[in-house]
Structure formats: structure tokens, C-alpha cells
Amino acid sequence: MLCPRSTYEKVIRNLTQRELLGVLANRNVLPKYGFPVDTVELRIPQEGGAVSGQLELTRDLSAAVHEYAPGAEIVAGGHLWASAGVYRLPDRELVSRHYAVCAACGRYREATEPVDPVCAACGTQSAAAQRRYVEPIYGFVAARGPQRRPGQTPPRRSWYGDVHMSTDTADLQEGATTFVSGHTTLWSAGTRGEMVVVSEGPAGAGYQVCDWCGWGRPHAQAGPLRGGHPHLLKDTQCTGPLRVVSLAHRYQTDFLQIHLDPLTALTATAARLRSGLYALLEGAAEHLEISRDDIDGTVHTGTDGMPSLLLFDTTPGGAGNAVSMGKQLEPVASAALVRVAACECGPESSCYACLRNFRNERFHELLSRREAIALLNALTGSAS
């Protein structure tokens, strides 16, 4: 169904009235570290009392789409704050895109119009409904009403989703690492990979977000509404339509793509790929002496339908870590192997001392030290 003309006019107005420095930094023309344009705020209602006036809750948008998503909770100033929706500006429509992830091969696709249901990589036709995301560039708004004190139960978190590379038409540097075993692994490093951080909500069902006021809630936890829903900014009811969307942030950064040999690429399970990926990230953080939060990764499916390991800088614009990982792949893989081999958790599982962190909690049940070791052995050509 086509969007009304007024919607497109609002999107155009939104795009043309953006700050010039922000646009140039987002497109990697200016150094991003000098222009923190991707920071958004969780706005606290003034009725929150004296505490609310002292708080300024901000996050990078790549984290905010998870931590500030509707229904998520955070503790600040001794109080528990819950996000109630996405902040919208009058006459400004949030930029949105359609996207799809192939259930068979994992290939990610996105477009301004509905994407082709047939995967171009493997030919599988999707029977699932089309997905759509919005970019909440104006931030989020906390729920109104009395504030609660934190209790024994941890705050509700909403780190559900993944990171995808929407385009790899970047300035590529091809490389190869020959390990002690004699096995050679090929890799590519680039400086302008366009990443998309997608938050899909609990159970991957998305969020219901009002087209008018921005009020929202997780779709998986949604019950019936009578007479509308609470207005996000006023003490009234709103009868605006609710649209099921994901939340996303797009940015360019440095990346490293590790190409697996054909046999490994064809036979490796999702558990093996994910476990090996996160082992390499931990090894890279240790060997390069950088924070684990500065790098992340995902399993990327190319146009040929074959999976590869994609490691990237979380700093928009890049910080050079991805290229360093490629040039030092052998010691990085060695550090990864030592980490997963030395951990005391069961080999069929994982823990926060080896593979797990809050960013990859969606995959915790998949992660296994045994699978990580198997992939690292295949990557380096070592004996099992």
C-alpha cells in the first residue's frame, strides 16, 4: 500500500532540514569522533520531581534503540524509569525502510519500498510478513506517573535484534593470513561499510508505535486497548493508529570480513559460526588491548549465499580496529583459542567469562565453547 503524499513530504522535510555537520559525519566525510551526532536522549517528564531536572539520560543511538526502546527500563538517580515511546516532531516523519532477513541463508536486504520476497542469494521465497523499521533520531520519552524505586528484580531490558551490513561497496583492502599449520585464510577490510543496528523487541515481534504521538509498547506483550492509548506527551488519551515496526540506526564504520573455506562455510551450523565469531572478538579485544565494547560482529551472508564472519568498529566512522584485526589475525585467533579453552564452564555451553555479553544475549543459548574451538581450528587449519 502506498503512503500518502503528506507522509513523503514530511520525510523530505526531515531529510532536508538535518544539521549539515551531522549529515557529513554520518556519511563519513567528517571524522565522527569530533561530532557526536548519534547521541539521543530519554526525555524525563517534569512531573518526575526534582530528580528529573537533574538527569540527562543519553546514549549512542546504536545502543539507545535497545536500551531506550518502548517497555525497556533503566535505573538512574535512584529511580526506575521506563520508556513509553519514540519522540516525534510536528511535520517531521521518521525515516523508515522495509527489510527482510532470509530464513534459509540469513541474507539481509532493505529498501524504501517493500523488498522482493524471493532471496537473491539462495532463491528462497519468504512467506513471512514484510518487516519495517524506523530511525528514532529524535530520542525517546519516559513514562509519566509516579516513579518506582528499584527492587530485587532487575530492570526489563530489550536487547533483541542483530546488526547487519546493508552494503559492502566500500574501499576494500584484500588480505590473506597464513597460519603456522600452512592453512591460509582470506579476508577483506573496508572503511565505509554501512551497518544497520536493528532492535526487533521481545520475541522478535517488533514494537507498536503510534503514528501521531509516538507512544509505544512491545508488540509481543500487547493486550487489547479501549478508547485509544495514553498520549506520550500529554495527560490525555490518543487515538492515533499503531504501526508495528522495528527500531534501527544506520551508520558507516570500518569492518573486517573473514572468508571461510567452502567446506566450513557449507557445513558450519549457526551455533558454530556465532560461537567462533564471539571468540574472535574476545581474542581481538585482549590482543589489541582495546575495550570489548569498541568492536562487535555478526554473521554476514553474501550475494552468493555463503556465510562469512563480519567484525566491525562500533565507533561510527571507524577507529581502525577492524583493519588491525585483519593484519594481526593469527595472534587474535590464538588469543581467542586460549580464552575459550581455559574457561571453566561446560564445553557444550558458555558464560560471561568466555563468550557471552549483554549485546549478544539473543544468541546465548547457541553459544558453546566446543563449537567456538571447532570453528577456530577450521579457521587456522589446526587439528581438531
Does the pLDDT of residue 52 top 70, yes or no? no
- Banded pLDDT at 1 (limits 50, 70, 90): very low
Residues 112 and 88 in one domain: yes
β pairing state of 242-258 and 172-178: unpaired
Residues 173, 101: Cα–Cα separation, whole Å: 27
Cell matching residue 3: 503512503
Question: Nearest to residue 277, comparing CAs of 59, 106, 78, 125?
Answer: 106
Question: Nearest to residue 313, comparing CAs of 330, 331, 329, 326?
Answer: 326
What single-letter amino acid sits at 68?
Answer: Y
What single-letter amino acid sits at 205?
Answer: A
Average pLDDT, the chain: 88
Q: What is the DSSP string of 128-182?
A: SPPEEEE--TT-EEEPPSPPBPP-SSPPP----EEEEEEE--S-EEEEEEE-TTS
Tens digit of each residue's pLDDT (9 = 90 or more) over 232-291:
999 999 999 999 999 999 999 999 999 999 999 999 999 999 999 999 999 999 999 999
Does the pLDDT of residue 116 top 50, yes or no? yes
Residues 241 and 348 in one domain: no
Q: Residue 10's pLDDT is what? A: 55
Residues 222 and 316 in one domain: no
Burial of 297 (0-12, 13-18, 19+ CB in 10 A): buried
Residues 180 and 329 in one domain: yes
Q: Which of 249, 269, 286 is the last residue of a domain?
A: 249
Residues 295 and 324 in one domain: yes
Tens digit of each residue's pLDDT (9 = 90 or more) over 320-352:
999 999 999 999 999 999 999 999 999 999 999
What single-letter amino acid sits at 304?
Answer: D
Q: Residue 34's pLDDT is what? A: 46
CATH, residue 181: 3.30.1360
Residues 82 and 110 in one domain: yes
CA 314, chain centre distance (Å): 10
**Which one has a higher pLDDT value, 15 or 72?**
72
Cell matching residue 351: 558464560
Does the pLDDT of residue 25 top 90, yes or no? no
Q: Which of 215, 249, 283 is the last residue of a domain?
A: 249
The one-character DSSP state at 160 is -
Tens digit of each residue's pLDDT (9 = 90 or more) over 297-311:
999 999 999 999 999
Report the SS3 class of residue 333: helix
Residues 236 and 367 in one domain: no
Does the pLDDT of residue 24 top 70, yes or no? no
Which CA distances in Å does 147 have to 55, 77, 214, 307?
A: 14, 11, 21, 46
CB 167 within 8 A of CB 193: yes
Residues 235 and 365 in one domain: no
**Which one has a higher pLDDT value, 24 or 59?**
59
The residue whose grid cell reads 567452502 is 262
Residues 16, 14: Cα–Cα separation, whole Å: 6
Q: Which of 232, 249, 266 is the last residue of a domain?
A: 249
Residues 107 and 49 in one domain: yes
Count of domains forming the chain: 2
Does the pLDDT of residue 362 top 50, yes or no? yes
Cell matching residue 376: 577456530
Tens digit of each residue's pLDDT (9 = 90 or more) over 270-279:
999 999 999 9
Residues 132 and 193 in one domain: no
Residues 83 and 177 in one domain: no
Residues 92 and 146 in one domain: yes
Report the SS3 class of residue 51: helix
What single-letter amino acid sits at 328?
Answer: Q
Cell matching residue 1: 500500500
Question: Nearest to residue 308, comparing CAs of 108, 110, 124, 146?
Answer: 108
Q: Which domain holds residue 117?
A: 5-160+204-249
Radius of gyration of the chain (CA): 22
Q: Torsions phi, psi of 132, nearest 5?
A: -145, 145
Greatest mean pLDDT among 72-76, 156-160, 222-226, 341-345: 341-345
- Name, in order, each residue with C-beta under 8 angstroms of 123's C-beta and a sequence gap of 6 or more: none
